[in-house]
Structure 1
Amino acid sequence: MEESKLDKPYKLAILRDRKGDLSKEWYIEFYAYSENNADLIRKRVKIPLSYQTDESRRKYAAKQIKEINKLLREGYHFKKEYTGTEDSDIERLKPLLLVESFYAVIEDSYGYLRKKSKGTYRTAINKAAEYFSKDIELIQVTKADVLKLRDFFLKKGNSAYTTNKTIAHLAMMYNSIAIRNDIETNPFRIPSLPKTQVSASNIAFTDDDRIVLEQYLKEHDYELFLFTRYLYFAFIRPRELRQLRIKNIDLTTKSIIIPGEIAKNRKTENTAIIPPLLAVIDLESYHPEFLLIWDWSETGSVS
């Protein structure tokens, strides 16, 4: 036990980590002087359930413990208005903060978010952090605030589409926090902005344009032409296509197997090889383990 600067006894804050069991609620425990009891009483500061990993809980606790102990040494104690008892599970000393909680969701995603997805969500948080104060509490945010946030995004030059996507990402993260903290409403669930007309710069090629481009590729860059055939006729994502191997092409069943480890949704999928694509596939002279798409400038085509 120590004495504060105002001669109020206390016991410094410590983390109760439940022997590292993440299925149990962790909390910070400290004792402060109570004017009502004329003695020390215990206070527990819950670790928010949005922190789901050992590392993130300890990191959060270390910051809170430092702040609590500073307050205790400066004379923090319970006034006569305080009615808590020694065994009470009292609400956290610090409120649940919006931006901090959003970042916690990303860090504690347990691997279900891919690296690229984490980057997308982090970008959404960074945008929101430009508008919201870092001290704003989760439960203080209203739909009116989110509508103003949406206006802020638009004034910053974001399109209606990008703004809608950003708000949607924030809504999903807020929902994840709300479920774990018994919050019933989600202020980020607001109507989407109407779709705007596509600018002339984004209009798709006409059929005549497509024919000219395809003919040019056939004559000047046939390997790239083959790459576009897989995209055009099989609708395979470029990232997946670059990881496919010769063995993933089954000419017997006329299908392309996209293994779960490279698929965006992590599920193995089969894509049919339609006649126009089948007509340009020639794989007989290549080893099954070769990548379907290769560095043709050095090794030659493998399609």
Structure 2
Amino acid sequence: MSQKLTDEQKRKLFNGQLAPPYRLAKLHDYNGDLSKRWAVEFWVWNQNLNNGKGGLHRKQKKFTTKLSADERRRQAQEFIFDINEALILGYHIQSTKTSDNKEAAIYAKETISATDGIDVILKIIKVQLKSSSYKDYKLECDKLKNYIEEKYPGLLLQDLDTQIALEFLDFEQVEKNLSNTTRNNKLSAFKSVFESLKTRAFINENPFSNIKKAQQKKSQKHAFRKYHKDILLPYLREKDPQLYYVCMFEYYLFLRPGEIQTLKISQIQWEEKRVVINNDSKTGRPRFPVISEACEKVILEMGVLGLNPDFYVFGKSRKPGPVCTGHNTFRRRFMEIRDKLGIESKYSLYSWKHTGNLDSLMAGVNIKAIQQQNGHTDIATTDAYLQSLGFEHNEQIRSKQPSID
């Protein structure tokens, strides 16, 4: 304690006792069951409980299931000795109450645990992100919390440094045999989470900010060639008309399979000749792909205009209806047809979007219009995307380079 207390003050603080109450630590080993996470349990006096009146606070130290029984018991014995000694000598969690609210807030941030700090920022970003994006962040943060609990129990948020962050990323990659791309995606997520903590003054430095991305291969995207179209399109028209139109929406509107799956008739704004995507699956912002004259013919042929606007364009019953198709249904159906026709597996349903982009560019559509149709935030993104399709075609060189003759 920071100051000497009278016996009366001690009794007031510690529920009538001269020293903080506690319950000594003991090991729960589940009768030797190694499939369970053994834990040492102890109870410490926490002055912050019960509106500042204090109370016993149950805490645990858990052991990873990767340890043998002997290793767990040895670590447990060491921990029990240390924590019991501390409890007997008066270890307790002091009150964070202070007359200065600002001082209290600073104290709370300085003494918050790493796992609690991560929980705090997750609650904040939950209301800022789409539910699917939030789930991805939470999944990664839960992995980091579990790692900290096993390797650094009780770690304060301010003590989570770059070394621990790097250890965690290395552990994840080695244990799960992750690619550099997946590792880099994790790194980007944690940089964002901890930057939010830094912005809110929970930490002074972002422990992930100075970690460099691992080198990764540029992914090659594949667009269909003419002979693919000649094989696929007639077959799709005859055998699976709904899937044929799904491919057309990807090709002309640059929609992603998930956006097509949940597309409603009301999102087709026929008078404005555009489709409304309320939440772009990559950026979360609305975008408005244009209905070209070629795409207009496809929509008229489908006969969806004038139907119930709340119907899904590509319903579960293979026609517009009140229930949308399953998440991976279109992908599975396309893969079956692709394989049946002997087309290489590197081509996917998504390849129709790539094909639409490449064909539009080759037909003379300028890159700014392609950027807008894709909903890319800048030209650089569109340029990188087109390069990933193998397009490094320089029209100026092709059409204007002089002959040496």
Q: Which bin holds the TM-score, normalised by the shorter protein?
A: 0.5 to 0.7
Partner of 1:188: 208
> Aligned residues, how many?
246
Counterpart position of 1:229? 248
Equivalent residue runs for 1:265-280 within 5 Å: 267-280=285-298
Bigger strand share: 1
Does the alignment pair 1:167 with 2:187? yes
Counterpart for residue 244 of structure 1:
263
Partner of 1:213: 232
Report the Cα offset of residue 290 of structure 1: 2.9
Match of 1:67, SS state, is: strand
State the distance in 1 between where 2:264 and 2:122 align.
33
Following the alignment from structure 2 to structure 1, what is the Cα–Cα distance between the partners of residues 203 and 319? Answer: 58
Instruction: Give the gaps of 5 or more residues in structure 2.
Output: 1-6, 20-45, 59-83, 93-97, 322-405
Q: Return the match for 1:129 from 145, 150, 156.
A: 145
Q: CA deviation at 1:120?
A: 0.4
Give the RMSD, CA atoms, in angstroms. Answer: 4.4
Percent of aligned pairs with the same amino acid: 18
**Structure 1 length as normaliser, TM-score?**
0.64
Query: Which amino acid in structure 2 is aligned with residue 276 of structure 1?
Result: A
Relative to structure 1, the CA distance from residue 291 to residue 138 in structure 2 (aligned partners, 3 Å threshold; closer, same or farther) is same
2:140 pairs with 1:119: no
Letter paired with 2:212: P
**Scaled by the length of structure 2, what TM-score is found?**
0.49
- Aligned amino acid, residue 111 of structure 2: P
Tell me the residue number matched to 2:123: 107
In structure 1, what is the equivalent of residue 361 of structure 2?
none
Which residue is equivalent to 1:49?
none
The verdict on how the C-alpha distance between 1:44 and 1:143 changes in structure 2, with shifts beyond 3 A counting, is same
Contact 2:126 2:134 in 1 (8 A): no
User: Structure 1 74/238 Cα, relative in aligned 2: closer, same or farther at 3 Å?
Assistant: same
The offset of 1:263, in angstroms, is 4.7
CA displacement at 1:138 relative to structure 2: 1.7
Q: Which runs of 5+ in 1 are unaligned?
A: 1-5, 14-31, 34-42, 46-57, 79-85
Change (3 A) 1:297 1:290: closer
Query: Would you say the 8 A contact 1:131–1:152 is kept in 2?
Result: no
**Aligned residues of 2:157 and 2:203 also touching (Cα < 8 A):** no
TM-aligned CA deviation for residue 11 of structure 1: 3.4
Which structure has the highest helix share of the two?
A: 2
Q: CA deviation at 1:130?
A: 4.6
C-alpha separation in 2, matches of 1:180 and 1:123: 22
> Could you list the per-position Cα deviations for residues 57-76 of structure 1 after superposition, in whole angstroms to 9, with x for gaps in the alignment?
x99x89x96439xx9x9774
Q: What is the DSSP-based 3-state SS (H/G/I as helix, E as strand, rest coil) of the residue aligned with 1:239?
A: helix
1:8 positional shift:
6.8
